[in-house]
Amino acid sequence: MNKLIIYAGLILALFSACVPLKQFQDVKSQGEEDAIVAKQLKNENEDLIVDNNELKAEAKRLKRDVELLTQDTMRLAKSNWTLKKRNKELANEYAELLKRFGGNTTTQSSELLAHVQNLHEELQKREDELLRAERDLASKQQDLIFATEQLANAEKELEARNKRLVELEAILNEKDSAMNALRNSIASALTDFGDDELSVYTKDGKVYVSMEEKLLFQSGSYSVSSAGKSAIQKIGKVLENKTDIYIMVEGHTDNVPYKSTVLLDNWDLSVKRATSVSRIIINNSSVSPNRITAAGRGEFVPIDTANTPEARRKNRRTEIILAPNFDKIFNILNN
């Protein structure tokens, strides 16, 4: 059996204040990757089931062949035993006749001798057939032993993989349930804010809190407004006890060139806005700084690529992205 498990590896990134952007991008794709892994394991299990069924059919065929060969061998052995017994009786009878006639070969004794010789030849032929049958039987028995071992190993492998798949699916379901519960908790904490100010949704197994610029910042500023601070503080409170949740704060701008005596461009502005939001979370909750990554995306990841005021308004946003810990999934795949 040539089809074995092809273990898919996942690259997990832990969030910290100094994690590079590429590392976070790896984590952002994790929701898609774990779904791919689960699907891959399912496909591989289906292939293994097909292989097992083929091995079972082959083992069944070999077992039947062995049974038939065993029957043929027993039949030949019984026939040979009968021939040997009859040959011995005829040989004794022939010896008695020779003794009786004093070595004279009468017509009767000549016919008897010819008959005994024919029996000897038939017996030798039958013994040769028996020997070949015994060799074939021994070979088939070895084939059956090998096929049985293959089948046992395949069933053991299938059982182990099914166990891993069940564990993986359970963790994925648990993670999805936890993230849905987290989304509901955050949404409930932010009921004082309108849909035109922020939105809370799930994507790729993570929770996104997307806040409009008008809720957090004045145009061109990275100082958070009082309303924005209130929203961020409520989010931080929800995250205090969610120690297995990693936090990414992403600043986004539109594509209108930004000029300042302090900051260089939109990219600088988006980074400063991300760090401003991150500091509010840390300073107003027990969330550890090593759970947060602040990243500036500038104008390079727009929601709407249209060159309109409405599109630019959508693109000016700050997103708090909450991702679960994937260590359990990694451990299952790694083992």
Cβ pair 224, 284 in contact under 8 A? no
Residue 44 CB partners (closer than 8 Å, separation 6+): 3, 5, 6, 161
pLDDT band at 210 (very low <50, low <70, confident <90, very high): very high
Looking at 7-11, 52-56, 136-140, 188-192, which range is the least confident one? 7-11
Sheet holding 245-252, edge to edge: 198-203, 206-212, 317-324, 245-252, 292-298
Q: What does the pLDDT read at residue 253?
A: 96
- Number of H helices and E strands in the chain, helices first, is 8, 5
Which tens digits make up the pLDDT trace of 214-261? 999 999 999 999 999 999 999 999 999 898 899 999 999 999 998 888
What mean pLDDT is reported for the chain? 79
Which tens digits make up the pLDDT trace of 43-87? 766 776 777 677 677 777 767 777 776 776 777 677 667 766 766
Q: What does the pLDDT read at residue 283?
A: 96
Q: What does the pLDDT read at residue 1?
A: 36
Q: What does the pLDDT read at residue 257?
A: 92
Amino acid in the structure at residue 25: Q
Q: What does the pLDDT read at residue 152?
A: 81
Helix (H) or strand (E) holding 249: strand 245-252
Predicted TM-score of the model (pTM): 0.62
Q: For residue 155, how many C-alpha atoms fall within 13 Å in the half-sphere facing its CB?
A: 10
Which tens digits make up the pLDDT trace of 43-55? 766 776 777 677 6
Cβ pair 320, 235 in contact under 8 A? yes
pLDDT above 90: percentage of residues in the chain: 40
Cβ pair 281, 292 in contact under 8 A? yes
Is the confidence at residue 112, as pLDDT, over 60?
yes
Give the SS3 label for residue 198: strand
Amino acid in the structure at residue 85: K
Q: Say how far apart CA 76 and CA 132 lie, in whole Å.
A: 11
Residue 32 CB partners (closer than 8 Å, separation 6+): 204
pLDDT band at 179 (very low <50, low <70, confident <90, very high): very high
Which tens digits make up the pLDDT trace of 300-327? 999 999 999 999 999 999 999 999 887 7
Higher pLDDT, 166 or 85: 166
Q: What does the pLDDT read at residue 221?
A: 94
Q: What does the pLDDT read at residue 163?
A: 84
Q: Which two tokens stand for residue 201?
A: 């949704």
Cβ pair 51, 161 in contact under 8 A? no
DSSP state of 95: H
Average pLDDT for 179-198: 94
Q: What does the pLDDT read at residue 255?
A: 94
Q: What does the pLDDT read at residue 246?
A: 93
DSSP state of 246: E
Q: Say how far apart CA 135 and CA 90 lie, in whole Å.
A: 30
pLDDT band at 114 (very low <50, low <70, confident <90, very high): confident
